[in-house]
């Protein structure tokens, strides 16, 4: 079936460096995308979102880029901190629905 | 601000027993979602409600699973009878569908272990 980023890669980054987490989504008609952060023992926490009519959105220390041509989403974290260590999920929303499809996520490890 | 509240946080029970998971969405949110998370399958949507009405329950795995939302501030997910393969973390999320695109906000989940 369709899926968003089935693989669960691990990204190790030195503290203070920038992190880039990538996600491939499957439905070219998806109109809204979200990045979530999940720490151990907690639920996914909203980080940033982007609509399909945008290609970039910035938040505090985070930037999301959307490339609809290749159905690719990325999350950039500036000056990565130990507290950023978590699993990061992207999610796409199917148009006309409230249904989101989540990937299996990427584990970010911040090295001191 | 109070987020989505789930109870219990952990549940361990023997197979065949009835399990009831509870969720209180964020006040003012009119959509509620139940998810199941496992290592093998990731986050799976089980059911979602809009204005207390079940809209899509296609993700509910079997008739053993049922969900209710008797009012805007409370929902339950029930498994009867429970089986070991139901062991997972169950999340509830809520969102406001007013004003366009709104993200879902998750509770901290119920970790369910069926022995």
CA B85 to chain centroid, in Å, comes to 17
Collect all residues with Cβ–Cβ distance below 8 Å to A43 and sequence separation of at least 6: B4, B91, B93, B106, B107, B108, B109
- DSSP code of B25? P
Query: Rounded to whole angstroms, how far apart are CA atoms A90 and A104?
Result: 9
Chain B CB contacts of A34 below 8 Å: 103-104
Which residue matches tokens 């930037």?
A63
B4 touches A at CB < 8 Å: yes
- DSSP code of A1? -
CB contact under 8 A, B103 and A49: yes
pLDDT value for B41: 84
- Predicted confidence (pLDDT) per residue in B59-88, tens digit: 998 899 999 999 999 999 999 999 999 999
Query: Rounded to whole angstroms, how far apart are CA atoms A86 and A35?
Result: 12
Chain A CB contacts of B91 below 8 Å: 43-44
Cross-chain CB nearest to B91 (options A43, A97, A98): A43
Size of interface A-B (CB pairs under 8 A): 46
A51 touches B at CB < 8 Å: yes
pLDDT tens, position by position, for chain A (112 residues)?
Answer: 334 544 578 999 999 999 999 999 989 999 999 999 999 999 999 999 999 999 999 999 999 999 999 999 999 999 999 999 999 999 999 887 778 888 879 999 999 8
CA B22 to chain centroid, in Å, comes to 7
pLDDT value for B1: 63
pLDDT tens, position by position, for chain B (115 residues)?
Answer: 689 999 999 999 999 999 999 999 999 999 999 999 998 888 999 999 999 999 999 999 889 999 999 999 999 999 999 999 999 999 999 998 765 678 899 999 999 999 9
3-state secondary structure A36-59: EEECCCCCCEEEEEEECCCCEEEC
Cα distances (angstroms) measured from residue A85 to each of A14, A89, B45, B54 = 11, 13, 25, 36
CB contact under 8 A, B106 and A45: yes
A98 touches B at CB < 8 Å: yes
Query: Rounded to whole angstroms, how far apart are CA atoms B56 and A94?
Result: 13
Residue from B77, B21, B29 nearest B50 by CA: B29
pLDDT value for B98: 60
Listing DSSP states for B31-96 in one string gives EEEEEEEETTTEEEEEEEEETTEEEE-TT--STTEEEEEEETTEEEEEESS--GGG-EEEEEEEE-
């Amino acid at each position: 079936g369709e899926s968003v980023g089935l693989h669960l890669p691990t990204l190790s980054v030195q503290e203070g460096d920038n992190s880039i987490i990538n996600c491939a989504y499957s439905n070219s008609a998806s109109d809204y995308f979200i990045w979530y952060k999940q720490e151990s023992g907690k639920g996914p926490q909203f980080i940033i979102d982007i609509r399909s009519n945008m290609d970039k959105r910035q938040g505090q220390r985070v930037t999301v880029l959307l490339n609809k041509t290749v159905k690719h989403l990325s999350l950039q974290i500036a000056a990565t901190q130990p507290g950023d260590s978590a699993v990061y999920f992207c999610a796409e929303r199917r148009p006309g629905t409230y249904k989101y499809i989540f990937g299996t996520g990427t584990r970010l490890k911040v090295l001191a | 601000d109070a987020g989505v509240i789930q109870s219990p946080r952990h549940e361990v029970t023997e197979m065949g027993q009835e399990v009831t998971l509870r969720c209180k969405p964020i006040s003012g949110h009119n959509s509620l979602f139940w998810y199941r998370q496992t290592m093998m399958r990731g986050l799976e949507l089980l059911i979602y409600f809009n204005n207390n009405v079940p809209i899509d329950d296609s993700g509910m795995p079997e008739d053993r699973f049922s969900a209710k939302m008797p009012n805007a501030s409370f929902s339950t997910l029930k498994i009867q009878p429970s089986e070991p393969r139901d062991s997972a973390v169950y999340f509830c999320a809520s969102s406001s569908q007013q004003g366009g695109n709104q993200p879902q906000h998750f509770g901290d989940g119920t970790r369910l272990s069926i022995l």
